[in-house]
Structure formats: C-alpha cells, structure tokens
Structure 1
Amino acid sequence: MSTLRRQSLLSSYSRNFHSNPSDPLFSLIKILFSRSFNHTYTSIPCSKSSENHALFKFFVDSLKGCKQRAHTIANRFSHVISYKKPQVAVDFLKTHGFSDTQIRSLLSIYPKLHQFDVEKNLKPKFIYFQELGVTRPHLAMFISKNPMLLSCSLDKKLKPGVEVIKNVLELNQPESNKFNIRDDLIRILSRYSWVIGNESKLLSSIKYLESFGIVGSQLVVLLKNEPRLFFVGESKLKSLISRVTELGFAKGSRMLVHGLRACYGNRTETLHKKYELLQSFGFSELECATMIIKSPILFKSSETRIRRGIEFFLSNLMLNKSVIVASPYILMYSMEKRILPRHRVLQMVKSRRLERRLPSISTMLCLSDESFMERYILKFKDDAKELMLVYKGPLSEPSKV
C-alpha cells in the first residue's frame, strides 16, 4: 500500500471518528497505520546502505573482478565486517597455483567460498585431492572445473563417494595397474564431480546393475562414460534395461552395457527414426537388429552421419549391404578425418600397384593413425611424399568407382 493511500485512509477514519476521537478503535487504527508507514519509510535508506563497500573494494582491487559481480557478492554478504577471511582464502588459492581469473570464476560460481576457513575447510580437501593423485600443477585446473568439490563435506560426502568409485575400479584392475586406477578416478571426478554427492544412491544403482550381469569392467565403462545412469533412480533404470532387452540384448551379455549406453543417449522415438533410416536403404528388421547388437554405440551417432556413411559405402564404393551389416561400426567413423583420407591413399596404392593385396574397408578403417601411415604411406619410400599429400589433401568425396 502506498504512503498516500495510507494517509488518505487515516484521514478518512479520522473524519468518521471525529465526533468521538477517544474511541479505542480509532486509536488502534492510527497506531497500526503509523507503524506501517514508518517501517516502510525507514527501510528505504537501509536497502541503499546494505552493500558491503569494503568487500566490494576487495574484489575489484585485489582480483580485478567485474564490478557488477562484485556488487552482487558484496550485497549478498553485507554482514561481513572484515575482508580478512576472503584475503586469507584468496592467498591460499594463489599459493596453490590459482590465477586471478580462476579465483574470480570460482567466486562467481560459489561466492560463499571467500568465507571458508582455510585450515578447516580448504586445506584438508586440497591435501585429500593430492593424496588421490591430483598433482599440484593440475590442482588449480581440476578444482576450477569442479568447484562443487569444495562445497561438499569432506567426511560426509567426498570420501564416502570416492571410496565407492575406487572400490569398483580396484576390483577390476590388478594391483600392478594402480596408476590406471588413479587416472580413471581422476577422470571420473574431473568430468562428473557430482557423482560423489549421493553415496547411497550410487551403491543402490551398482547393486541393481550387477543383478543384470553388468559387473566388473562393464561397471567401469558406465562410470567412466555414463555416470548419470547411476542417479536416474531404480524405476527409470528398470525401464531402461527393459528397453535394451527388448532390442535383443541378453541379460548377462557383455554387450548389454553398450546397449544401455545407446538407449540412455536416445529417446525411444529417436531410436525408431534411426531404424527407419536404415530400413529406407533396404536393410531388413533382422539386419537392423543385428547391426544394433553388434555396434550399439552406432545409435549414438547422428542421423546425418549414418545417412552419409551408408550413401558413401553403397553408392561410391559399391559395397554390398552385407558388409555394413557385418561391420556396422564403419558408419561411426568421421568422413573427413578418417574415411575419405584413407580411401584416397588406398586408391593411389591400388592404381600404382604398390601392394598386391589391399585390406577390406573395415580392416583399413580400424587401424590406428600410426599403423595406417606405417603400412600404407611410409612403407613405400619412393611414393611416401605423394601419398602423404593425398592423405592430407582436399576433403571432397570421390565419384563412384
């Protein structure tokens, strides 16, 4: 209610009770309106003075931060009367290799960080991360990308969640590969730091997946590539596994985990569209089912890539459909980075009769870059330079052969 409106109402009540100003109802109304008016009036200068100027100056001067963001943080922490804690926190981060830009980024995402007690909140976590294997040169980048790791309770959230993941990794790696365990753990935490936030849900999902035969290295695959699967809830996980088994993946099959990854990344409608795309090129339902079981990750590829690959192999290279059905993974490779460059090299090798027997298209595409160059470019010393030029040449698709 506006001030003028309050005054108007008070005047109206005053006229009505003018004949009897001692009436207790009039006195009560006058007191209530007076208090409301005074409260509103005095709150205005209070909001204007709520900004913490000392904190604002600290962020702008010490970190060369954005003034707008500094205003926001200073207003949020108007009760802070000293910037001693922020200074200690910032100094601590700088001694661990954090740049001003990284510190500003951390504070933007998690402004409460500047009020952390270094000895109680920050230092123990930094020590813990280093014990896990995050080396000091990489610590700043690791934490900058995962600021929520600093907001979690070390004993209640971080350690229990990390231990669950470590146990899964250790059960599937020999002791001699402890460095692989460390690298896998850091990779999971670096890319999906939020997975450690709910230990009970993580354990529950692991137990449920194991009941379907997804164990050992298969669990590791999911943790490293699809950690969100462990937090979708049992009902959604059950529905997802049901979809996968309907596609033909058997319970206990080593391909079940890859089927899960494919279905999790696609809605049912999307999978149907990709089936329809394959069938539009003449593949039967059985052939489509065979292709998805052999290479389920193919269905995480875009329709554009699948279509372009099929058109190239069937129309340009005149391959039989059975080759694609037998090796559907060839549709997953990049046309520009792998398929076309290698095809051009093999065409030259064939035209110059440098090799008596050429590999199948699937074998040729499976080779690593190093192996391909060694076998089909560097091996032919007299032609290596020209072959390399062809390999690095234009990306236009060749005409039909």
Structure 2
Amino acid sequence: MQRLQNRLLLAAFSLRRRLLCTTTAGAASPPARFVAESYLVSNCGLTPSQALKASKLLSHLQTADGPDAVRAFLAGLNLSKADVAATVVRNPRFLCCSVEESLAPRVAELRGIGLSTPEIARLVPLAPYAFVKPAYVSRIAFFMSFFGSFNKLQSAIRRDVHLLHRNLETVVEPKIAMLRKCSLAVRDIAHVICHAPRLFSGSEERLKAVIACAEALGVPQGSRMFRYALVVAYCVGRESANAKIELLKSLGWSSAQVAMAVAKMPCLLTGSEDRMRRAVDFLTKEAGMEVDAIVRGPSLLKFNLERRLVPRLKVLKLLKENGFQRLGNRSFYAVACMSSDKFFDTFVRPQAMIFPPGLVDACDPAHAGKALAGAAS
C-alpha cells in the first residue's frame, strides 16, 4: 500500500510538472531569464517584501525547472497556496530541493513511521528543513512516540521551530533523564517539552536552575503540579514570579496563603501583575470573598474579569434583589466555575426578563460562549 501511495504521488508530481512546464513554455516565447523575485510573487504567493528577501537565496537559479518541480510535488500533497507561501518564506532554499533525491524519499520515510498525507502536509510549512536529511525523520519518530500524537508534536514545533534540530543523544535525552530524577512520569515530561520546548535547547545548568526555581515556588518534586511549576519557572522566571508573590502579600495575603495557592495552581503566576491586582480587588471588594476562599479556588484569578466574573456577579446580585434567594445564594466560586451553557440555563434563561439586555447578551453562550467557555483568556 505504501509503495502504491509513493508511486501515485510521483506520478501525480510528474503530471503536474509537465503541466507547469507546458504553461510556462506557452507563456514565454522566447524563454525569459528566470527572475526569482517575480516568480516568488506570481507563483508562490509571497508579498513583494517577502519575495525581495527570499530571492537573495535563489539568485543562483537560471531556470524555473527546479522550483516548478517542487511546487508540483507540494501540489500532490494538497498543500494550499498559503502553505506553499509559508514554506518558502520560512525556507526559500526549499525550492532548490531535488524531488527524486530528497523530497519523495523523506515523504516515504514519514509515511513509514505512521504519518498520514494530511499530517505530512501540515509539517511542510512548519519544518521544511525536516525534508532535507533522514536524521530529522528519526527525531520526528522519537517525539511522536514521546508525545503520543502528531498534534502535540505540531504544537511543540509551533512554539519552537528549531525543536527537530536538536541532537537526541547529546541534548534531549540527557535532559529527559534529569527530569526523570524529579519523579516525573513520561507524560509529565512530554507536557514540559510541549509547553516549554526551548528549555531543552539550553545547558543542563539552565535546566537545573529551572528545577530549583520550581521548587522555590513551593511545589515539591513528585507532586502532580510539579510539571506545571517547571513550565512556569521557565516561562516566567524567578524574578517575575517573586514580584507577583510579593504583590499578593501586599494585597493582604499571608506567606502561607500565597504558598498554598501557588502549590495548587502554579500557572497563577503567569498573569500580569495588573490583572492579578484587579482580580483580587474585585473578588474581595465586589464579590465579598475572604482570601482563604480564593486560596482554596485560585483558578478565580485566571478567569476573565470583564467577560466572566463581572457579568456572573451581576446576575447573582439581581437574582437576590428580585427574591430568588435559592439561586442567588450559591457560592461565587461554584458559579464562576460553571460552563457558560450551564450558567445560562441555570441562572439566566429562566429569569431572563429581569436582566438588562446587555447583561443577557454577556451571559448568553450563543453570543459570548467563546469568551466565557472554560475560563482564562
């Protein structure tokens, strides 16, 4: 089956190449000198500024035969014009690749490790360099197995386009071994790599510093939150994390309360200081919550203030004012954590007539469901 797919792909490529060559020959009589800049704009979908920059790497080309062959091959993989443009912008020399010696063999190898044609097509604009050498295929196979899916690998490459450049034996595997010593399971390490892939490009000393920073946040190794603490320690850094911890203390939180909240939800420290301050002020002053209650449910500080917390509190207050004590006496934490649909069906839809239209729209999943669904923006 795989051999048949490869033959069909090459056959489609040959047909498309002939069509491109025929079109080019018909349009140019006598043959015109190859001008990379205009070719990139008219045939690859680049903007003039992108083409100007990319053309410098294609100035050695005398004809469009090679680029036409590559474009025909990509068409056989069903890449859109936008994906072709993204591929060329990321790596203009991709148009110089040999289809027979490089692209077709790499596609065959990628199919051999389990990638489908649509997945290969999604990989091209993300990591066109992966189609140049066989070494990249083995790295893709490693990360596919480690992450458990192509989608997670794709997400990691989006965060770090150089992920596949890293040598597995000398760079990646030693750092994985270090994280294993932190009592992290494979899926926990995969989470760290997926969300902070550049952590694996630095030195082992840098990783040790991140591990120490995660522990300093009060999240012990072996806890289920340690993987999140590692991502926070890398992305936020010790100085910024300490500044946010001090901010919470300045808002009336004790050291123990801060430590408990961070241990329950390390990503609490990823928001801006202004957002954190406004959320605490709203929850304590407007919603009347005690700090201990916020500490027990720190996710409140990650919910969107204007699109989630404020409209829901207004609904609860209006219910109480209109005598719906049973509904209006729910804890604000429980109400804030409800899905947008459940909140609307429970609190808004049955009593919609007592709410201002603007408030109903803010709580209606048909209008604001995307903004309200599942928390933090």
Query: Under a length normalisation based on structure 2, what TM-score does the superposition of the two structures give?
Result: 0.76
Q: Does 1:110 align with 2:91?
A: yes
Shift of 1:283: 1.2
Distance 2:184 2:291 in 1: 32
Shift of 1:133: 4.7
Shift of 1:119: 2.5
Asked if the contact 1:60/1:66 (under 8 Å) is kept, the reply is yes
Q: Which residue of 1 aligns with 2:18?
A: none
Where in structure 2 are the equivalents of 1:64-143 lying within 5 Å? 70=51, 76-127=57-108, 132-133=114-115, 136=118, 140=121, 142-143=123-124
Distance 1:258 1:65 in 2: 39
* Pick aligned residue for 2:155 from 180, 187, 200: 187
Shift of 1:76: 4.1
The aligned amino acid for 2:340 is D
Shift of 1:300: 0.6
Shift of 1:332: 0.9
Q: Does 1:54 align with 2:34?
A: yes
> SS at the partner of 1:359?
coil
> SS at the partner of 2:347?
helix
- Quote the RMSD (CA, aligned, Å): 3.1
Where in structure 2 are the equivalents of 1:322-401 lying within 5 Å? 322-354=292-324, 356-357=326-327, 358-378=329-349, 380=350, 383=352, 386=355, 389-393=358-362
Q: Which residue of 1 aligns with 2:179?
A: 209
CA shift in 2, pair 1:337/1:167, >3 Å? same
Q: Which residue of 2 aligns with 1:10?
A: none
Distance 1:326 1:113 in 2: 53
Q: Does 1:169 align with 2:136?
A: no
Q: Does 1:289 align with 2:248?
A: no
Q: Which residue of 2 aligns with 1:312?
A: 282
Shift of 1:327: 1.8
CA offsets, 1:306-358, max 9 Å, x none? 00001101111222121122222211111022111222222233333446154
Q: Which residue of 2 aligns with 1:26?
A: none
Shift of 1:277: 0.9
The aligned amino acid for 1:365 is A
CA offsets, 1:264-312, max 9 Å, x none? 1223221221122111111122222122112110001110110000110
CA offsets, 1:205-244, max 9 Å, x none? 1111011111133123213322222333211111111122
Asked if the contact 2:33/2:63 (under 8 Å) is kept, the reply is no
Distance 1:184 1:373 in 2: 33
Asked if the contact 2:130/2:164 (under 8 Å) is kept, the reply is no
Task: Give the number of aligned pairs.
Answer: 328
Question: Percent identity at matched positions?
Answer: 21
Gaps of 5+ in 1: 1-51, 171-180, 396-401
The aligned amino acid for 1:166 is M
Mark the structure with the bigger radius of gyration: 1
Asked if the contact 1:164/1:203 (under 8 Å) is kept, the reply is no
Distance 2:213 2:45 in 1: 53
CA offsets, 1:43-67, max 9 Å, x none? xxxxxxxxx9424354455446555
Shift of 1:72: 5.5
Shift of 1:126: 4.0
Distance 1:144 1:344 in 2: 47
Asked if the contact 1:377/1:387 (under 8 Å) is kept, the reply is no
The aligned amino acid for 1:168 is F
Distance 2:74 2:354 in 1: 51
Distance 1:355 1:216 in 2: 49
Shift of 1:134: 5.2
Shift of 1:128: 5.3
Q: Which residue of 2 aligns with 1:6?
A: none
> SS at the partner of 2:281?
helix
Asked if the contact 1:169/1:220 (under 8 Å) is kept, the reply is yes
CA shift in 2, pair 1:62/1:282, >3 Å? closer
Asked if the contact 1:249/1:256 (under 8 Å) is kept, the reply is yes
Q: Does 1:237 align with 2:199?
A: no
Asked if the contact 1:89/1:114 (under 8 Å) is kept, the reply is yes
Query: Under a length normalisation based on structure 1, what TM-score does the superposition of the two structures give?
Result: 0.72
CA shift in 2, pair 1:213/1:119, >3 Å? same
The aligned amino acid for 1:161 is R
> SS at the partner of 1:54?
coil
Higher RCO (Cα < 8 Å, 6 or more apart): 2
Asked if the contact 1:132/1:182 (under 8 Å) is kept, the reply is no
Where in structure 2 are the equivalents of 1:190-269 lying within 5 Å? 190-198=158-166, 199-200=168-169, 201-269=171-239
CA shift in 2, pair 1:134/1:226, >3 Å? farther
Shift of 1:117: 0.8
